[in-house]
Structure 1
Amino acid sequence: MRKRILCGILTLSIAATAPFSAFAATVRQFGDVNAMMMEYRPIMKLSAQGTIKGREDGNFGPTDPVKQLEALVMVQRFFGMENTAIATANLLTAETEKKFGGNVPAWGKGYLVTAVNQNLLDAGEYFPWHQGATRAWVARLLVRLLNKEQEAQSRMSATLSFADANLIPASLRGHIAIASDLGLIRGRENGCFDPNGIVTRGEMAIFLDRTERKMDQLPPGINEATFISGRDAILSVLGEGNLLSSLSLDTNARIFGAEKAVTLSDLNPQDKIRYIKDGDKVVYLEVVQGSGQSANVLRGEVIASLPEQGLLTLKDDTGKPFTYSLAASVSVMNLSGQKLSTSQVGPGSKAQLRLNNEGKIAEILLESVGQQGLQGTIIDINLTAKLLVLSDGANHYSSYYLGDSATVEYNGKRFASLEDLAKGDMVSVEVDGSYVVNKIILQKPKSTVTVKGTVSLISKDSRLVTIKGDDGQLYAFELPETTALQFSDGTSAAIENLYLQDAVTVQLESGAVKKLVIVRAGNTKGLTGKIASIDTSRRLLIVKDSRDRLQSYEIKDPVILDIEGNSNPTISNLGIDTSIEFELNTDNKITYIKSKNTIEGVVTRVDADRHLITLRDTTGAEKIYTVETNAEYQIFRRSGEDLDDVDVDDRVKARVSGDKITRIQVHTQLTGEIIDKTSERIYIKDMDDYERSYTVNSSLKLTVPNITKPSLSDVTVRQWAVVSYWGDEPYQIAVQTPVAGEVTGVDTGRDKLVIRQYDGSSRTVETASRFKVDKGGTTSYGLSVISVGDRIQAFADDQNRIMRAFVASKVSGKIDGINRTTKDIYIGTTVGYIIDSNTIITLNGVRKNFDDIQQKQSATIYYTSGYKAIEVTLSN
């Protein structure tokens, strides 16, 4: 009884309060919170992050008790679940609400639903939301937030050293053991845990701050970096991928080091920091791991480098030179974290130097390399892959990445853009230490070139044309949409007017085709349009061109007719609205008509009883067609189709004879995994586990991301692809790049996921109607099995909706085997985890390759079915 009296505290009765306001704009200074309070820093932090906010009177109320529902809201806002909670508020049924104590405030309903979905609450447990949150209950909440419920269950019989251990509920002993071991909630000064004590707002801030330090990933809004230097409210830091970036401090920013408020000048190089921004300003910053180094950092331009003598001369911002000796173990690193040698720090380089206690250079951070020799002729520039290849003319080549903000200049003036550069241009480049181009200076553009010859090969779909020049050489050109095409009489032309054996003149500027002239009159060949009216008796044809202009022509007798699907065509086979291509003689009479009796459009209405269908073409115009009673229908994976199987919004190709449709092919897509390939064929298993094979040829186009003219050698097994069909005929196989990364948000109400991709960007994706997800060997439908923190690999349809997702399993341990031939790694199993080109490998936040993985190295592997690794995190 004595222990119970000493350890007990008075339980306060709390009136219902309004909800917290998440995502506060800035850090506030509360009237009842000061820097001497132990909860001062956590309150400032959670205020900046938006988890908690003060009262309307300007106070925070650090000693005010917290209700269970308020604590639940704090935890979910802290981890970025607020949008999901708001979206799921209508899913709280009356029966479930009754179990939760009834009369739950409207602002808290969604948080209860989300708490159950995220396993923070048990589905059937009694939850007195209006009662004070006890220390024991909050311990369980925080342990579950860290995904340590199973570990807590295994320690339910743990011996607790607290003086009031007999007061701790048996069902919470494991949670309190975990929370105590992790330092989330510590015992009182009197040796008691005080399990029934009500948590205050100030204590809740402290507990959440401690929990964050134990998380595998940072809560939304909190970022981590390595501090390099700071001056005039500007910080230089190494952020994600060890890339240098700058941060601007808000004038009222709170800075903390070792649990106390400090200034920018108190930060040391290599300090690990976490920070919160409001817009583009840092409003909160804390040191989470000090480096122990003194802030003896210089920055400037290298004007002399003598590595043999161990000397380096730096010019600071004022132009004053400084010469320093290199320490025996000097470390050189570029902005991507790559280790370099001192010989690579040449004149013109921008660098940061850290001096040791002897005044010698201990570390060099190379921001950019010197510009000597960084020029040449563009051999290749690929804007999709962001790659630039230069040649110095002596068979020496250098490759660079194009930075996202790279600029182009010509004679000191701003040049248009990267799109204006071309192969053959003479340029110089400015790059940083990781070979990323920041600026390109155009020294001399490639001269304008004229090529004359005849067309020997043409692909109108891909706009590629091969010219046999008058010099006997073959030239291949791509004709961008911006290329000016015209006939030699000055009239405008289109690529559809270009034919084999046409004589042409091609003008190139900066390596790109600016103009192509077809050496013939523009009013005789290659005219196109739609038939607006036809008079077979008087042999008159009225044609509507692409601008809806009408022109009347007389049809020569005889006329050459080429009508698709008709071996013995006559003029009567031509129908209204039929698309045609025709030629004229010198008397302006039609001598040749080619008719494509296939039209393409989107179905807007179907009347199967009257055999009518309405199609909308690419211009937006709609037309009603009669469908023949014996018309042919093709819908992939269907048999015995008829007009009832054609739906509104279907894309279709229809064959027209006169004014009637005789065949309809519906556009469909199949998604699947590439399971095998040969030199000509590709094998795909679809989402129903049905295997199909395809022969890639001129009628079945293959597309691969970032590759202009792909072949099957560019395709690898285990990639996913979308096969597009017109009816039963496949016409395209598009290899997909998966959406991969960490799940940071799940909105089951709106069928949306938020994924932090491995390139650092965040992407919100919507699921398709037949969305399937594989997790732990089980296939499910819907988002309910996906949780925040899951690693995921997903594949989208042509509307960027996720159709199939694979949630990775996780394994950790020391690598006890590596097969460098098959690229497998082993952790305590005879089955290897497969590493491929899509696997993300990191060590201390820096991207690595398969060859960097070492035996006995600690690793965490996220993998999908077949032991395919999508992420490998290494540690020393």
Structure 2
Amino acid sequence: MRKQVVSGVLALTIVATPLSAFAAPKSFTDVYSTMYEYKPVMKLSAQGTIKGRGDGNFGPKDPVKFLEALVMAQRFFGLESTANLSASLLTAPMEKQFGGNVPGWGKGYLVTASQQNLIDVNEQFTWDKGAPRAWIARLLVRLLGKEQDAQNRMNETLSFTDADQIPAWARGHIAVATDLGLIKGTDTGAFEPNRTVTRGEMAIFLDRVEKKMSQLPPRLSEATFVSTQDNTISVLGENNLLTPLTLDPNALIFVKDRVATVSDINPQDRIRYIKDGDKVTYVEVSQESGQSANVVKGEVIAYLAEQGLITVKDETGKPLTYSAASGFKVLSLSGQAVSASNLVLGSKVQIRLNADGKAAEVLLEQESQQSLKGTIVDINLPQKFLILSDGSNHYSTYYFTDTTYVEYKGQRFTALSDLQKGDLISVEVDGSYVISKITVEGVKDNLTVSGTVSLLDKDSRIITIKGNNGQLYAYELPSSATIAFSNGTSAIIDDINTSDSVTVSVESGAVQKLTIDRSGTDSGIWGKIASVDTTRRILILKDQQDHLKSYEIKDPVVLDIEDVTSPKLSDLKVDASVEFELDRDGKINYIKVEDKLEGTVTRVDADRHLLTLLDKYGKEKIYSVSRDVDVAIYDKSREDLNDVDVDDQVRVRLSSDDTITEIQVHSQVMGEITDLSSSSDRIEITDSEGDERTYYIDSDTKLVFPGVAKPKVSDVSLHQWAVVSYWGDDAYQVTIQTPVSGEVTSVDTGRDQVTLHQYDGTSRTYNIARGFKAQKGDTSSSSLNTISVGDRIQAIMDDDDKVYRANVAKKVTGTVDGINRSTKEIYIGTNVGYLVDSSSYVMQNGVRKSFDDILHNQNVTIYYMPSYKALEVTLPK
């Protein structure tokens, strides 16, 4: 039975389960572009399959451990979220089966490997030993769902010189793996079944597996390359739709397994790419089109059909003329043949030349958007051309001559040199691209003034500046103007002082931005006290690179020391960790003694009691962890270091020798507000599993309500949604959220997207966040497959506007046999009333109605949330 299940399970998993953590490809210090495994390693890094070891290395020549191979394979197929949720299912006997003391990050992968039949039920191995080639060959074959093929070939005679060393259980798998080209023999004809596979080889093997898959693994997309312009490439994706893709400046590009540039990709090449956010970080050519790389890009100056000539100016402005080859054709971006009459002045094209240097094919990138009026964005007097913008991202280029006439307000300009960038002009051309006359519609009145503040009236917001040219300038600072320090720190008008050096940007006579030419307050500086001189008020600190820095302490200074009511400088102790701020003069004006450090876990080594953290200032460091460390994770008991995972947000307490003695893991709970009391500052929340918890808003637990400056419990209403944030077991913040609600019209598990027809009448596609969970009835899942088209959902968004939690409404249909208009409840054959309040949507034929439109004996459909609160009531047509 297992032999038949493998293929179906993995094929489903590729579509259904998203990878939980993606990243741009890392630059490992021990992986070089000259290495054979460079491309596969970079590709799998971009996909999220491999993440390195936290010290900047990947270890390509190191043996791949059994557990590492299973982790890489399952991440490759998008099973990371499933594995993370399965860690608790690893039983003690099962853990012993794999050598015991399995690290927390790998437990779930052993469980899912068994569930997905990647390993045999009774199979035993020591998880941290190197995996041999025979075992890896079986794993690769099972990944492709070829188990039955392997079983059918178990008695096959293999031609390897060391075939007698191949274990019987692997003979069929090696036969299939070598036929598919997944893993090959040596130059001497041996297979070496017992040789340990390296981590770099494992990356190569997984890259080969991808080439044999019937569908692409998560994160990887395929398209046909069309063209490139600046940092954007145009491709034909699904359904032959033209799609622009933005290239990350550091994107890795491969052609024929070698590092290349985007200019090496030819039109009609098939490419595979990986995105990180909205930018492409990895591209490889998967199938070459055979098109010649001899491509000329430019802008059409003239097309003479009778003579068969096309003239373009290239990116340098140089005019180039080509004869049309026999069979010459013009293509649109969608690949369709179009009339050559589209080759008009100003059209952007790519010309593909044949071996004779003739134009064989023209790709019409952009039809002429020529404007006869616009703003000058560039003017080149030596080359005699200018570029106009019509304000809609359309640009036109024109040449001018020494005889070009320039007019302003009915009078001739002194010279062409009087034209400036920013001038609004209209042009007359002589029938082609050469300007015969320029009419200046409006001269540029934007300018930048640098100087010293000589007078400032803060009440009237009038500032007078003595410019560096000696002239005086007076401006009103509108409230919309941006004020900032030169280091980018935001400022207000009160931060401006007389004699400050400033730079003012003026557009259309109004100040848009004022920059104070000094640094603003520096905050969030962290260090460890090396010495305190209370007499001279000097503090010497050691930063995270163990560099000593000296700071002068302002008098007075604000001290924030836990459990000290009236702190003094003498209360600052050597080796204490502090966070402090500097004023504009570089003196310390605030010090907080902080023995806790916040960061993101990048590596956990529970066996050696090591934890690697990336702190909030972007610094990564390895810390020793006390063997009796106190670990706190919300809603867990008897936690230890094995329960801490990579990517967890943590707050740790450090001893004087930088040993971690306490770990609080950050977590969040989402739910509906089902009871509250403003008199006692109490909020009761029912989470998606129906559990009720009570929170008191006080100095320890903060209330956050977007759009409300100082929110109180009295600002909160029943049935609103809230996210409770925890450090360990302590709730520190309750955030009120307005969920996105609507009907699901599309679920795209390949792209991790869901499309909603929202109750405001609009439709929008949302990306799924890392850590996503959906609650549907009694089922909680991290799989997007939990949601179906037609479901009504409430979705909570994260800070990146991605769906973090989705609660699928339950559905009931029946005849209304009771209405309580005082409590706004309706009944359908039950004693339970469905609450229909102002936030519920009563819909009829796509039009929103009210509670009063609900009538007795109507046949209605109710989509309702926990506590029987109606999200939508659909009335009959």
TM bracket, shorter-chain basis: 0.3 to 0.5
Q: Structure 2 length as normaliser, TM-score? A: 0.41
Q: Structure 1 length as normaliser, TM-score? A: 0.41
